[in-house]
Structure 1
Amino acid sequence: MSPTTSLSKNTSLHITNLQAWYGPSHILQGLDLCVQEGELLAILGRNGAGKTTTLKAIMGLVPKVQGSVVYGGQELLARPAHQRFRYGLGYVPEERRIVPGLTVLENLQLGLAAIPGQYKQAERIEEIAQTFPRLKERFKQTASTMSGGEQQMLAIARALMSNPKLILLDEPSEGIMPKLVDEMFTLFTELRQQGKTVVLVEQNVALALEIADRAVIIDNGAVVHRASAAELLADQEMQDRYCAV
């Protein structure tokens, strides 16, 4: 295992000895991870390795956790999930969680529910509409009638409503047509260029490494490899060992 990245003044997120359980199942087993401010970090590994649980633990969505998750100098583990959004975290879960009975616009408005009063809703919706013109055309449409790719775009747009500094993305390309995947990954690059910190869990290894700055591989609930994205992209043996489906 590579040594843990040292904490610096540019560290956005610092995770130390993170343990997580679902019932008797011990999923995360001493995970250590640092994310630098303004970088795009890819988290890779096989299904069941603990990638999704890592994101959920950061967001306070795992029932039993131990260790340390420090974001912006604040220890998060003792804080409820809704407070974590207020610190500037955004989260797009693997299952999207679009509210089926609501319109596209109403789903977007939910993105500000956890941080009331911080933004003028109409102005923020207009800003999001400029980034996602496809969604603007569908504001009055029931969200559940859109395609899977459009629903994924809506989930990302909803997470961006609160203008997070750090956004966690869980398998955004899963089940999406290639054209929309390309649009999404272009957006992720733009978010990084705007100064946001992005953590991307992705099964499409090559696609993730093409846009990431660094990558970590998780196996059996712990980080087993760290490298620059370019180094890992060139290391087919490491990809085959830990990332092959």
Structure 2
Amino acid sequence: MLEIRGLNAWYGASHVLHGVSLSVAEGEIVALVGRNGAGKTTTIRSVMGLMPKAAGEVRFAGTDLMALPAHARFRLGLAYVPEERRIVPGLTVAENLRLGLVASPGRSGERAAIDRIAATFPRLAERLGQQGSTLSGGEQQMLAIARAMMAEPAMILLDEPSEGIMPVLVEEMGVLFRRLRDEGVTLLLVEQNVEWALRLADRAVIIDQGEVVHESSAAALLADQAIQERYCAV
């Protein structure tokens, strides 16, 4: 579904991705792991069209993305949940959810989409009229994920979803991500919580200093402590 070939990216004069190549098949969860600053977030920001300068080949469901702006990529069915969550202050939970439909025609009406999300996220269903910025950190993360799901994307890019979240909510997210995969949604998961990500994912890719250095099944990497310590240890 997602094919990345020879991806390079820059922040100003700093060349931070060096020919990154990886693929994500339809209906799988791929964990993109590595140390802080290795290039994980830059990779998914490049896929989403949010880097100031990027070059290479990125194809999604057969479409070349490199000439398309971020909103056009979203319209193709590619959603993004940033690490910062970006819950809009002053808007309620329901209003934040509606933003997920603004840039996309969606496949169902607004009411049906909110009802579907409320059924998936009971915590949010109880707080639709509450300002989103007053939710707990874990609830805000759930809201950011729910907002991305509003337009029924084919694939979701997730940046550090477990960061700063209580363990019980992290486990709930894991259950949700597996359910989404079983329903046909493809997930690319950038995560610093390596053990959790590997237990969740089907395949794993390690990036180090802007280059892909390892690819395997998630189970194989979970069992290989030497590679984890070499490339993922903080």
TM-score > 0.5, shorter chain as reference: yes
Output the TM-score relative to the length of structure 2. 0.98
Report if the CA contact (8 A) 2:160-2:192 is conserved: yes
User: How far did 1:118 drift?
Assistant: 4.6
What's the TM-score, normalizing by structure 1? 0.94
- Mapped to 1, the partners of 2:112 and 2:140 lie a distance apart of 22
2:181 matched to which residue of 1?
192
SS in 1 for 2:127: coil
Correspondences of 1:47-86 after superposition (within 5 Å) = 47-86=36-75
Contact 2:47–2:58 at 8 Å: present in 1 too?
A: yes
Q: What letter matches 1:75 in structure 2?
A: D
Deviation at 1:104, TM superposition (A): 0.4
Are the equivalent residues in 1 in contact too, given 2:105–2:151 (CA < 8 A)? Answer: no
Whether the 8 Å CA contact 2:204–2:217 is kept in 1: the answer is yes
Residue by residue over 1:9-57, the C-alpha shift from the partner in whole angstroms, topping out at 9 and shown as x without a partner, is xxx0100100000111111110001111111000000000000011100
Equivalent of residue 111 in structure 1, options 100, 103, 106 = 100
Evaluate the alpha carbon distance shift between residue 194 and residue 116 of structure 1 in structure 2; reply closer, same or farther with a 3 A threshold: closer
Match of 1:136 in 2: 125
- Report if aligned partners of 2:75, 2:105 keep a CA contact under 8 Å in 1: no
One of 4, 8, 32 as aligned partner of 1:19: 8
State the 1:116 CA deviation: 3.5
CA distance in 1, matches of 2:114, 2:14: 41
Task: List structure 1 runs of 4+ shifted beyond 4 angstroms.
Answer: none
1:190 alignment partner, SS class: helix
Aligned to 1:94: 83
Specify every segment of 5 or more residues in structure 2 that has no aligned partner in the other structure, as ranges: none
Amino acid at match of 2:138: G
Letter in structure 1 aligned against 2:158: L
Q: What is the identity percentage for the equivalent residue pairs of Structure 1 and Structure 2?
A: 65
Relative to structure 1, the CA distance from residue 32 to residue 131 in structure 2 (aligned partners, 3 Å threshold; closer, same or farther) is: same
Aligned residues, how many?
Answer: 234
Looking at structure 2, the residues matched to 139 and 193 of structure 1 have their Cα atoms a distance apart, in angstroms, of: 27
Cα separation, 2, equivalents of 1:146 and 1:130: 18
1:90, CA displacement in angstroms?
1.0
2:133–2:140 CA contact under 8 A, matched in 1: yes
CA distance in 1: counterparts of 2:151 and 2:47, whole angstroms = 17
- 3-state SS of paired residue (1:162): coil
Residues 51-105 of structure 1: CA deviation (Å, up to 9, x unaligned): 0011100100001010000011100010011000111111100100000110000
Deviation at 1:193, TM superposition (A): 0.8
Please state how far the C-alpha of 1:198 moved relative to its aligned partner: 0.6
Q: Match for 2:59: what amino acid?
A: V
Corresponding residue for 1:5? none
Matched position secondary structure for 1:34: strand
Q: Please list every run of 5 or more consecutive structure 1 residues that lacks an aligned counterpart in the other structure.
A: 1-11
